Each structure stands twice: as structure tokens, then as C-alpha cells.
Structure 1
Amino acid sequence: MVDVEPLLERADALIVGRPKVVILAFFVLTLAFAGGLANTATEAGTDQFVEGNEAQEAFEDINENFGGSTFATDTGTTQLIQSSENVLSKPELLRMLEIQRDAQVREDLRVVGTTSAAGIVAQQLDPSATTLKAQIQAVETASPTQIDNAVGRAAEIQGFSSTLSDDFNPTAASASATTGVITHEVPAGVSGSAGTGGTSPLTAVQQEVAHIAETAGGDVTVFGSGIISAELSGVVGDSLAIVVPAASLLIFAFLVYAYRDPIDLLLGITALVMTIIWTFGFMGWAGIPFGQILIAVPVLLLAVGIDFGIHAVNRYREERIEGRGVSESMKTTTDQLLVAFFIVTGTTVLGFGANLVSDLPPIRDFGLVSAIGIVFTFLIFGVFLPSAKLWADQLRERYGLPTFGQRPIGAEGSVLSRALAGGVTIAKRAPKAFLLIILVTSVAAAGYGTGLDTSFSQEDFLPPEEQPAYVEVLPEGLAPGEYTVTQTLNFLEDNFESAQGSSVTVYIEAPLRQDNTLEQLHDASADPPDAFVSEGRRAEVNSIVGVIQQQAARDPEFAALVERNDLNDNGVPDNNLEQVYDALLETPARGQALNFITEDYTSTQLRFSVEADATDAEITTAAQSVADRIRLGGVATGQTVVFKAISDTLLNSALVSLLAALAATAVFLVFIYWVLEGRPSLGIVNLVPIVATVALLAGSMRALDIPLNALTATILSIAIGLGIDYSAHIVHRFAEEYEAGGDLFGALDKTVRGTGGALMGSMLTTSSGTAVLALAITPVLGQFGLVIALSVFLSFATAVLITPSTVAVWSEVTSA
């Protein structure tokens, strides 16, 4: 056991002896950290999560290498989604082509290419129509019959049907929807991610294209990463505009009740604001961007800060109500709470810092920032707030200023006091039976919680297609903007087989000139997995092999070249592949070929269509199995594969962080109680309510159908960090009271009435404030708010109900 009195006396000499120096020093530090706020950048969307896995690296290579040539600059695309009674009619074909032409002539839109079903039909009418102007002329001069025949011929071209809705009828030459693409030259690095960012240089470009489409008439929706990025940024701002005022009002109301004194309330709020400034200022100086997952950080800092503030003031009032002086009361308060705050801070830092083991950069940033923020919270509420409170009360006494509501929460005889003592009553009567019930319940909840789903998708970050009813009654300043991205995504999914998630890609980087290369690519589609769309025991696939076969079907000279080099007469060349590639790139199929092979013949891709009812797991497994059997070496990629990898990583991160947090916390608690109290077993007592909290939380999340997603993946380690906050206060206060000579149940009773009252105020304030996140427009924020509120409530409940029985059994075991 280590004597900490010398350290506490030195702290008292500063906090109690020189409060004005402490206050000044902290305000200077606040100004220094505030300087970093201007450096804080924002980052939203899914692209912050996709870095670092093999599928994403392959996805980046595909975006860099295919689509024409390897550009010095990057490219980004704008999608045009056209709907009408028949988008293959002459007026609608012209509308699509004219929108693309009007965008192309705008130099500021930096258009480097366009594709559409209308363009393919135009080239069937006039094979020499390689420009949009010529394609428009070809359609304008064609008769309806000629257009219908051209559509029939186009239907045989690989990729044409995928640009049309599922109701495409080649015989009738009709479809209700189609998509066209405009490719823009943009700064490097924009299009190489399976995710979507919160900012994009394409935003302004796509907004201009939307204006062009609007003036063209008809039903044409402009869609792309820029539009998504604008909504991602807007939805965060709109969510905060709704949540922050509501949360602030609730937190303020509970703080008014907890402090019941305007000076104490002002000091508490000032300390909370300083904590936020210090943390976000640190992020600015450290160059850590503010992503959506870091929205959790201020919530957690408020949770711990509110708890520390209420505890400090409540403990001080317990001394003052006994008739002790200002300095003496504060000295007793800091002597006890600095140790308790240190224990809480150490375990909370370990709980939050456990996220540093994650493979996902945003979760590592969250672990670092939240851990640093908790240290700041300890310093501000453990040093600054007591000094400020002491100085304020000295001024009150000097100038005779009135005080209000100085009675501590949970004082003897109150209704709350009697309610809080329920756990002590159970501990007196049947602690072992109660703990057995808790054990069985926790094991059942944990077992049920193992079925918790994981989720990672773009839709998690986007608003729902239909906004909740409460949005309609919000005043003008709080009402969110109009969101269309989710509606557009749903339209694509419902009407197009080629919508996002309905195809996967196998990327191959290898010398493609060797004789058996194309045969290997052709064989990859044989005997396909059930998740792939297939016909005649072959997968439906778009590849360089298909481009070669289509060109051979319409070009006799090229067909002769293919036949001369096809040893087994299956339409796939086996010899002189470089000669075949060179000839292909000199035909009109050059653009289509460069979608599947690079100009240096070192990389290619296979795009497999997948069944509509296949799950992400089935699709990913199928793509990986096909990639593994290609001897050239293949990597499965595409948004579905990348997002499934991230989803798996989220689950792995949650479990690893949970185990790391539990192990580190257990070691720390055993060590710290051995050092401070000479009773290392109290560390295990401290841990029991936390384990129950985590088990109950996991089971509750599954019951409420809340998955582990980009934000909630951190919740299990957060539950340890927050849960320790509650149970550590109870255990440490008990140890102090027990050491002072009280009997076991007397010490427990005094602990839960005094400290439990402060915990109650903290729980109500934090859980109500975080639950307001459920009002956020972004689904992922709403789910996170609910689980944080649930975690705080469960932490409080287990601390005041389970800890007394655990202490009673501990006392019986250690005294035996």
C-alpha cells in the first residue's frame, strides 16, 4: 500500500491554497487550445473507413487504370437517370444526348467523355457518329422504325442492357428508365474509393449539370458522389441543428436541478465548455479531422464531465452541510475525489483507448481523441473546478452573497435516498442469490448478444427516404433541407440490375500477353457460385473476352485474326495475344476494350452480375472463390466486397477492443486498489457491475435491432469506460467510508445515498442529453444516441444495485 497523502497535500496546496493562480493558468491554456479550433477540418461519409484493405486497393487500381487510359489527373463521373414512358423513343434519346452535349461544351465542367444507351443507339444508326453532335444528327434524321431496329442491334452489345431498367424490351424497343454517364477530369484521388466522402470537387460540377438537365425538361435526375457528398455534409449540419438545442435544453434543465445554484451552474457549464475547447483544439493542432464517428467524443466528454462536476459539488456540499468551513470542506473533497477521479480517468482512458487496436483509422482516431479528452476532463474538473468553486464561495462569504440549494442530492431522509438504498437492502438479505440471478441473466444476455448484426453501408450515413413526422413541425430555422439521394438509390436498386451492389469485380494484375491468359479469364466464368447470375453453367460476366467476341461477330477481318489464334475453336484466342489486343484497340471497340484492359496489357477486370437476393456475405464469398481459382492471381473487389470487409473489421474491432479494454481495466483496477487501499480484490469488485453492463447492453442492442455499425462498433469499449465511471465512484467511496471505521452496511448505505445521489443526477443528465441524438436525421447518429443513453442507464443501475451485494460477498470471502 502506497501513502498518497504527500501527493494530495501538494495538490491541496495548489487547488485550495492558490485558487486564483490555478484559474488564470487554466484560462491561458484554454486560449492556447482555442487557437487550434481554426485548424480543425471535417471529414464525413464512408471513404474514411475504406482505406487499407486489399479489396479497396484493387478498387483504387481499377479506377486509376480503366476507362480509356491512365490519366495524369483523376476522373469522376456524373450519372444521369432518365425516366419516361419510353426512354428509347426519339425525343427521349435526343434529350439525353443534348444534356450530355450541353455539359460537354462547358469548359468549366471539364468533360472528357460520355456514355449512354442513346449514344450506343446513335452509333448503330451511324457507325461513324463518334461525337455527340454527330450522334444527335443521326437520331434526328432517323425514322421511328430505324430507331427500333437500331435498339434491337444495340441489345446484342455487351453492357447495353445494363444501362436500361429491368423492364427493357428489345423487341418493342422500350424501357421506362435509363442511365447515362458524364466523365469529368478532376484532381487526382477523387474516384479511387468505394466509399463516399463528405466533401467533393464534383459537388459544384454536378449541381451545374443538374441545372442543365432541369432546363432540358423531362424527368432527368443528376446523381453522383458530389450530390451525395453535399447531402452528407448537409445532413450532419441539419442533425446537429436539431439535436444540439434539444440536448442543450435537457442538459441545462437537469444541471439546474443538480446544482440548484446559479454560481455553481455557471462554473459547471464553464468547465464543460473548456473541456470541449481543449479537446477540439488538440485535434486542430494535431491535424486530426473531425469525422462523423468523432461526434461521439463531445457526447462522452459531457457524460464524464457532468459526472465529475456533480460529484465535486455534491461531495463539497456534504462537508459544508456538516458545518465545516470553505477551505476545510474543499480540502476533504479534493482528497477523496482526486483519487476517485484518477481511478475513473485511468480506467476510462483504457476503455476508450482500447479502440487504438482497431484496423480502421477513424476508430483509432476516436480512441486517441476520446482518451486525451478524458485526461483533459480530469484536469479541468479535478483541479480547475474545485479552485473556481472555492474562490467563488470565498467571495460569497466576503461580500455576503446569498447561496441557493446547498443540500446535496440524495441527502438523508429524501425519497431519492430511500430509493437508492434498495441495493443495500438486497445486500443485507440475499446477496449471493441476487448475484446468482445477475450471473444467469448476464450470461443469457451475452449469449443472445453474440447474434448482434454488423452493418456498414452508405445508407447508414444518409437520411431516410421519408423524413420522420416531427420534422414537419420544426420552425423555419431548424427544419432540415430536402434530401433526394436515398430516394434515388432506392430507385436504382428497384429498377436496374446494374444498380450498386448487384455486381462484383475480380481485378487481375499480371502479364496478359502469355498464351493462356484469355482462356483463364474465360474459364473463370465456368461452374459459377450460386450468388452469380448464370446461364448454361456459365456466369454472366463482362470482360475483355466478351469485347473480343463481340468485335469478331461484326468485323470479319478481326474475326479471321481471332480464328487463326484460337487453337480449340471456342472463340477465345490462345496465341499471339499482343497482336490480338493491338488489332482490337484499332477498331471502334477501343473505348469499350479499355474498360477491361490497360494499354500496357498488365491489368484486367472481370465484372460478374450477382443474384438480386444474394446477401453481401454470399456475394463476397463467391467473388473471392472465383478470384482464388484464377492462376494469374485475382482480387475480389467492388463496393459490396469492400463494405463487407469493413463490416467484418467493425465486428473484429469491437471484440478486440472489448477484450483489450476488459483486460487492461482489470489489471489497472487490481493494481490501483492494491496501491491505494492495500485491497487488490476491490478491483474485481469494481469490475463485476461493468461486465454485467456490457452483457446486458449487447443483448439489448440485438433486441432493439441496433447493429454494430461505424459508430456503435465502439460502444462495448465505451460501455466499459462509462461504466467504470459509475462503479468506481461507489467502490472508492465505500473503501473510504469503510476505512474510516464504519461497519460494512453502514459504509454502503452512506455511499449509495451520497455518491449514488450524484450518480443519479449524472445519469439523468447524460442519458437524456444523448438520447436526443435519436432525433438526428442520420440513422447512424440516432442509433448511437440510443445505445449511449442505454449504456449510461445500465452503468448506473448496475453500480447502485449490484455493487452492494458484490461488496457484501467480497467482505464475507476476504474475512473468512
Structure 2
Amino acid sequence: MTGISRAERFFEGALRYWWLVLLAGVALIAATAMSLPMLTKDTSADAFIDADEPALVYKERVEEIFGLTDPIVIAVINRGEDGVFTPDNLALVERLTRAVERLPQVDPDRVVSLATENNIVGTEDGLIVEGFLDPDTEGFQAPLGTRARAEEVSAAIADFPLYQGGLVGRRGTATLIIAEILDDDLATAAYDAVMALVAAETIPEGTQVHVAGEGAVAGYLSTYIDNDASRLNPMAGLIITIVLLVAFVSLRAAILPNIIVLATVLGSFGLMAASGTSFFVITNGLVVNLIGIAVADSIHILSAYYTVLRDDPAISKRNAVARAMAQMWRPVTLTTITTVAGFLALSASSVMPPISAFGLFGALGVALAWLYSMTLLPALLTVWPTRRIPYPFGQRKDGTQRRNAAERLMTALGRVVLASPKPVVAAGGVLTLVALAGASQLVVNEDRIENFKPSEPVYMADKAINADTDGIYNLDVLIETSRPGGLYDPEMLRRIEALQVFMESLEGVGGTTSIVDYVKQLHRAVNEGRPDFYTIPDDADLVAQLFFLYGASADPTDFEEEVDFDYQRALVRAQVSTGQYTNNKEIVPALEDYLRTTFNDEAATATATGRITVNYYWVRGIDQSTLLSVLLAFVAVTVAAIIVFRSLTAGLLAAMPVGLSVLLVYAVMGFAGIPLGVGTSMFAAIAIGLSIDFAIHALDRIRDIGRSEGLGPQALMALYPETGRALFFNFIAVAGGFGVLMTSDVPPLIKFGSLVAVAVSVAFIASVTLLPALVTLLKPKALLAPEPKEAAHASCPQTA
């Protein structure tokens, strides 16, 4: 055993008990995977914000008080001369409304449309409160189903500002059916049921029916990501397998890494399920991450194993595995540490639970990949029935080593780089300056509907509905007065009216609704419908009498979405036509500033909430958390590299390709106008953890060369044939795996996958060009053999 390293001795000893290693590996896979059936999905927008965030707390409070959730919105749109006010279209609204009310996933008392809402008109005897589409009416003279009745309904809507822009588009081209879902967990079933109802309907010529709203988005997104995952994950596995076959021309080298990949993925998602963590939209990209990472370790270990067999044909299979593991355990462990650091930095820095979970379970997955690569893979190699050396590692008939295309390519690259190191470094400097200019143009933006391709029905529905109405995104304000009945106070109602005027002045806000709109309509109705009485009465008792009079003529619960039972709390709801963060970041702070400086006092307080406000707060943290995650990840991997190489210089050299790769991708985003959003914000921390793998493998090999042969250009050529080849196929596997995400149907995953693939590509190229060029020029002492110590006692000169 003389001359055998401790690492090789350890692996030889462990592999004597290969059967025990295999049993332990299978047991661990089973233990971590057994919880997989418990994994649940969460596709709601609220998943991206902390449960204690005030905007979300108040949104949930509004849901509790007023019964308002994120709804499914059905739009009937006709841009013809009569718009939606035709007998056929009104009949369609009636049929769809009643069918939706019967759905088990929908609250039948919370379906709003022309078929459920009332018109309010005054008579000499009081009020007439009756449904727009009721068959027997006093205020509408024409029979239901006639053109005359449709014209009467159109005229009534034109005389009822409350319904304009929201329930019916201001041009009369669209009308909405708004359905509240009983439980968020029923969103998928509710969306599917609504789509089935629409598909079964007879749609009048020239009319379109669209289904959108946050309830629809959450409902369809679950099915959407399932379909996406079922296509992407097998494709990623297939591409990785093809890369392995091309790299090694060996069935063994294709099968064994896939076992490691499968064990890693099952373990990661099993732990996710066991911890009660949900599967979020972005979690779809984690599988591809883990596939690329797990297979990269296998590529380096297999390359070392086949090289050992080629160089020592007489060695036993177990000893060959042990020697290969002794060579590779260190760089594989180092790259694992740095990749885990990148994922943990992402987890620790993100304010969004889905991204935090992505980072945490990504780190656990990387750790599992390392564990299985260190134990299960060598055990499987040991028991594989043959020890055939694959073609790329074989020898020619004359006994010389066979050079495959990858080795020749990397060797040729090495000659170019090492012959002209100064131009290579200069090019890297110029590229860095250009990248800094591009990165400075980066902006933050996010829109939840952009999770879908423009060709998807829910995407087209969102755009169509927002174009023909005031908008289906809600910006809410919860008003809380200091006493019951506080909303009878005319002064309080005028303050709410002024708030509505201010909200409607904000960019993107189409219209607002509140209890004030009902008060003004009732006041006008009891005064013979005169327009000059569309005002707030000056007497609190008169306000109370108006509500009493309405309750005597209709259902008093008709106001429950605008005011509570005690008339102490009210909701002001604004319709916004876009979910773009670039718009929301202007209107939410402006509204909150108005409430703080102009509205709130001892008599009443107002709090901004609703979907727009909640989305603003979780997206707002992207730029801050992204910068923090990048800094944490970069510092973490740099410190890890410094520690493992025991050298500040070597650690900084390892970090250089990583920094350049991330900076260059930010530059691409800045120049191309790609915003920093959910999918693009988390690429950097992950790319840092992945990219430094190339630098560490290259630098570890350079250090071995430096200590034995020095750091001259001729000596460094030894980096390229074997390590360079392994890095090349490592790069192809990782970049190819992430490149699969570019075929996703989820746009954020497309951007995420393409950006990581670009970052990994830049890191690989920099690690085999810029890094060796710098080493050649600088010749850092940390990568050279230590100088021999001087003799303890110098000889004294002879004296006469």
C-alpha cells in the first residue's frame, strides 16, 4: 500500500463493502422520496409575499369583512354597433350567470353580472329597485328578450355611473360576470368548469367570451405548469443522456449518472413535501437545475475513472474506482460547497417565499448529489459487470493515446490562449467595461399575466377585457371609522368621494366604486331622477333613511361588498387596467401618501390593499433582494474558494470568471430591455454557484501543474486535453439542461433558463481562456510549489 494516498485508501476500504453502500443509498432514496405524494401546489400570487406583510393582512381582512376574493371574470364582448346590448347577448349573460351560480366551487351569492344587479329609479311613491334582466318589471316596459328591452337596459346603465366601466365597459362593448371562488384550492376546478360552460354555450355572431381574472390565472397556472413540467423534465433528461453518450460512447456512462440524477431529484422534492413546502410556479425550474448539477459531478468522476483504466490496464476495477475518487473527491467537494453557498445565499436574501424555498431545496439537492456521487456512483461502478474502456479513452493500434474531437478542440484553444495571454486579458477588460455600461440600464418590472405565452387564452382574455373595461386588477382602500354608523356622516362620505376622485386621477386607474356611489344614486332617485341631486345629502339622518328605503324595496345585503353591517367600515375599489409593476410602483406610493397626509385622522383611517397593493410590495423587494443575493452568493463562493485553496489570490482568481459571467448577463438584459423580475432575479445567485465550478476544476488542475512543472505556457497546455475536455462536456450538460427551459411554455422560466445558460457559457469560456492567461502573466505563488526552507544553520566562512 506504499505510495497510496489516504483518500485512495479510504475509498478502497469503503468499496470492500459496496453492497452496504448500495443498501444505504437505496434506503436513503426511499426515505426521502416516500413523502412525494404529500407535495402540494400553490399557484396563487399571495404565495410570493410574506404572510405577515401588512398589505396581505389587510387584503385578507377585506376578504373576511366584505367576502371579496380574487375572482374569475367572464367577459362578453361585442364591438359591433349595438355592443353587448342585444337580446342574444343579454340572454347569454343570463344563461352563463345562472350556470356559474350552480358550480360547486363558486359562492352563488357572490356572482355579479347584469343578471344579478339592480337598477334604482325613483317614483312618486318611493323607489323602484329591480333587476336589469328580471322578466317582470315595473321600470322596464319592454318584454325581456326584445331589442326594445335591450335598449332600455343600455339607457339605464348610461344613467347609473356606478356600473359604468366596471360591470359594463364605458363604450358598451363589454359586460362582465364576476364569480367569487369558495376556496383558493378550488381555483383549478373552478376555472376548468367555467371554461367548460363557455365551450358548451352558443355564442352569438360577432361576440367573444373571455375568461380571466386572478382566480382564472391561479386556476389555469396549476395545469399550465404541470403540462410544462411533464414535457420539460423528460426532455432535459434526454439531452443530458445524449451528452453523456457523445462524451463517453458508453452505456454505463449514460445510465449511472441518470441514477444519481433520479436519486437527487426524488430526494429534494421528497424533503420539500415532508417539510410542508408547496410547489410554486418557479419550482418548475428546480428539476432542470438539479439534473445539470448532479450530472456534472458524474462527468468528472467518470472521466477520471476511464483515464485511470487507460493509464493502468492491469489495475483492478475496485482499485481504479478508488483511485479516480481519490483524484476527484476534492474538486467535486469544493464545487459542491460553492454551489450550495450560491443557493443558500439566494434563500437567505430573498423576501419571496417561493424563491427562498427554491434556494433552500436547491442547496439540499446539491448536497444530495454530492453524497450520491461520493458513495452510490463509485459503488455502482464497482459492481458494473464490465470494465471496458470507452472509445474516447482508448489507444490506437500503435499504442498512442486516441484524441477525440473535444480534446483536439480544447488543445487548439489552449495553444491560442497561452500563445497570446495579454490580448486575452485585454479583451476581458474591454468586455467588463461594456458589461458595466449595459448593466446600468437594468430596470425592475413584473406582471403576473406574463407567466403565460401571448397565445394562451387566459393571456388574450386579460388583454381584451382590460382594453374594453376600466380594468380587472383591483386597488382597494379599507375605510374604518371610529364608531358604528360613522358612514352615515355626510362629511365622511365627502372625504371618501374626494378619495375616489384622487384615485381616478392616478395613472392606469379607470374608475372607482364605493358606498358613496349608491348614496348619490339613491339621492337622485328619490328626487325624480334629477341629475343635480346626484350628490351626497347634507343630513346624516337622510343618508340613513335612503339605506332604509332601499332595504324596504330590495335585499339590504346588496351593499355587503361596499360596507359592513354596522356602517362603520367601507371599501373603496379602483379598477386598474394593467398589472405592470412599473405602473403600480407609481400609484401605490402616491395613494398611501394621500391617505397618510390627507385622509387619516381620529375620525377615520384608510389603508391601501387589494391585489395591486399586494403585488407592489412583493415585487418591490426584487431589486433589493437581488443585489443582496448576488453579493452574498459572490462573497460566499469567493470565501469558500479562498478557504479551499488557502490563498487569497487563488480565491480571487476563481471568482473572476463568475463575476464576469453574471455582469455580462446583466448587460445583455440591460441592452435588450429584459426587465429584472421573478424569473430573472434569481438567476444570478444560482449562476454564481454553478459557474464557479469551472474555475475551481481548472484552478485545481493548474495548481497541480504549477507545483510539478511550473506555470509556463508549455506546462499549462496540460490543462486542456483531460481537464479541459471534462469541463467542455460539463458545460454542454449544464448549459444544455438549462437550455431546455428555453422551450418552456412559462415565459419567466424561459428567461431564467436562457440567462443561466448564457452565464454558464461565459464562465466556462472565461475559465479556460481568461483564467489561464492571467495565471500565465501573474504566476501567483499560491499555485506554485513551496520554496524549500533555508538550512537551519548557515556555514560560517573560514578565517585565516
Of 128, 135, 141, the residue aligned with 2:143 is 141
Q: Is the 8 A contact 2:475 2:612 kept in 1?
A: yes
Q: Is the 8 A contact 2:72 2:191 kept in 1?
A: no
Q: Is the 8 A contact 1:584 1:590 kept in 2?
A: no
What is the deviation of 1:198?
9.2
How many Å separate the matches in 1 of 2:543 and 2:325? 80
How many Å separate the matches in 1 of 2:421 and 2:330? 28
Counterpart secondary structure, 1:615 = helix
Change (3 A) 1:286 1:115: closer
TM-score, normalised to structure 1, is: 0.82
Equivalence for 2:43: 44
Change (3 A) 1:492 1:299: same
Change (3 A) 1:521 1:726: same
Equivalent position amino acid for 2:466 in 1: E
Q: Is the 8 A contact 2:513 2:572 kept in 1?
A: yes
Q: Is the 8 A contact 2:482 2:568 kept in 1?
A: yes
For the aligned residues, what is the CA RMSD? 3.9
Q: Is the 8 A contact 1:423 1:802 kept in 2?
A: no
Note the 1:238-637 alignment, pairs <5 A. Answer: 238-323=227-312, 325-326=315-316, 327-356=318-347, 357-392=349-384, 395-396=385-386, 404-407=391-394, 416-421=406-411, 424-425=414-415, 428=418, 431=421, 434-465=424-455, 483-496=456-469, 498-501=470-473, 504-511=475-482, 513=485, 517-525=492-500, 531-532=506-507, 541-555=512-526, 571=536, 573=538, 579=544, 583=548, 586=551, 588=554, 590-591=556-557, 593-608=559-574, 615-629=583-597, 630-631=599-600, 632-637=604-609
What is the deviation of 1:801?
1.1
Q: Is the 8 A contact 2:90 2:150 kept in 1?
A: no
Q: Is the 8 A contact 2:210 2:465 kept in 1?
A: no
How many Å separate the matches in 2 of 1:573 and 1:308? 78
1:20 and 2:19 correspond:
yes
How many Å separate the matches in 1 of 2:577 and 2:392? 66
Change (3 A) 1:279 1:147: closer
Counterpart secondary structure, 2:478 = strand
Equivalence for 2:198: 210
Change (3 A) 1:689 1:101: closer
Of 157, 161, 165, the residue aligned with 1:158 is 161
What is the deviation of 1:387?
2.6
Q: Is the 8 A contact 1:242 1:775 kept in 2?
A: no
Change (3 A) 1:23 1:407: farther
How many Å separate the matches in 2 of 1:102 and 1:18? 67
Equivalence for 1:8: 7
Note the 1:622-661 alignment, pairs <5 A. Answer: 622-629=590-597, 630-631=599-600, 632-661=604-633
Per-residue CA distance 1:369-403 (angstroms, 9 max, x = gap)? 100000001111122212322332xx436xxx786
Note the 1:652-731 alignment, pairs <5 A. Answer: 652-674=624-646, 679-731=647-699
Change (3 A) 1:794 1:639: same
How many Å separate the matches in 1 of 2:70 and 2:461? 22
How many Å separate the matches in 1 of 2:252 and 2:121? 80
Of residues 713-722 and 751-760 in structure 1, the stretch that sits farther from structure 2 once superposed is 751-760
Percent identity over paired residues:
19
Per-residue CA distance 1:270-319 (angstroms, 9 max, x = gap)? 22222222222222222222222112222121212221111111122222
What is the deviation of 1:7?
6.7
Q: Is the 8 A contact 2:739 2:754 kept in 1?
A: yes
What is the deviation of 1:133?
5.3
Of residues 414-423 and 17-26 in structure 1, the stretch that sits farther from structure 2 once superposed is 414-423
Of residues 688-697 and 228-237 in structure 1, the stretch that sits farther from structure 2 once superposed is 228-237
Q: Is the 8 A contact 1:424 1:745 kept in 2?
A: no
Q: Is the 8 A contact 1:544 1:604 kept in 2?
A: yes
What is the deviation of 1:706?
3.4
What is the deviation of 1:261?
1.6
How many Å separate the matches in 1 of 2:562 and 2:726? 65
Equivalent position amino acid for 1:759 in 2: L
How many Å separate the matches in 2 of 1:716 and 1:507? 39
Equivalence for 2:793: none
1:181 and 2:178 correspond:
yes
Q: Is the 8 A contact 1:78 1:206 kept in 2?
A: no
Equivalence for 2:66: 66
Equivalence for 1:475: none
Of 221, 239, 245, the residue aligned with 1:232 is 221
Equivalence for 2:754: 786
Counterpart secondary structure, 1:44 = coil
How many Å separate the matches in 2 of 1:316 and 1:762? 16
Counterpart secondary structure, 1:223 = strand
Q: Is the 8 A contact 1:16 1:387 kept in 2?
A: yes
Change (3 A) 1:737 1:128: same
Equivalent position amino acid for 2:128 in 1: P
How many Å separate the matches in 2 of 1:379 and 1:713? 29
1:127 and 2:100 correspond:
no
Q: Is the 8 A contact 1:236 1:778 kept in 2?
A: yes
Counterpart secondary structure, 1:162 = coil
Per-residue CA distance 1:126-169 (angstroms, 9 max, x = gap)? 9353597556896763675565355334323232212466563x
Change (3 A) 1:435 1:574: farther
Counterpart secondary structure, 2:779 = helix
What is the deviation of 1:122?
6.2
Equivalent position amino acid for 1:301 in 2: L
How many Å separate the matches in 2 of 1:651 and 1:108? 38
Is there any run of 5+ residues in structure 1 with no aligned partner, and where?
A: 169-174, 191-196, 466-482, 564-568
Per-residue CA distance 1:582-623 (angstroms, 9 max, x = gap)? 647746594554332222334323334668899333333433
What is the deviation of 1:767?
1.8
What is the deviation of 1:12?
1.7
Per-residue CA distance 1:644-698 (angstroms, 9 max, x = gap)? 3332222222211111111222222212222xxxx34311111111111111121
Equivalence for 1:223: 211
Q: Is the 8 A contact 1:120 1:154 kept in 2?
A: no
Q: Is the 8 A contact 2:338 2:637 kept in 1?
A: yes
How many equivalent pairs are there?
A: 752
Counterpart secondary structure, 1:359 = coil
Per-residue CA distance 1:467-506 (angstroms, 9 max, x = gap)? xxxxxxxxxxxxxxxx52122112102222x2234x6333
How many Å separate the matches in 2 of 1:574 and 1:122? 24
How many Å separate the matches in 1 of 2:737 and 2:334? 25
Equivalent position amino acid for 1:347 in 2: T
How many Å separate the matches in 2 of 1:590 and 1:732? 77
Q: Is the 8 A contact 2:43 2:280 kept in 1?
A: yes
How many Å separate the matches in 2 of 1:424 and 1:579? 87
How many Å separate the matches in 1 of 2:229 and 2:568? 48
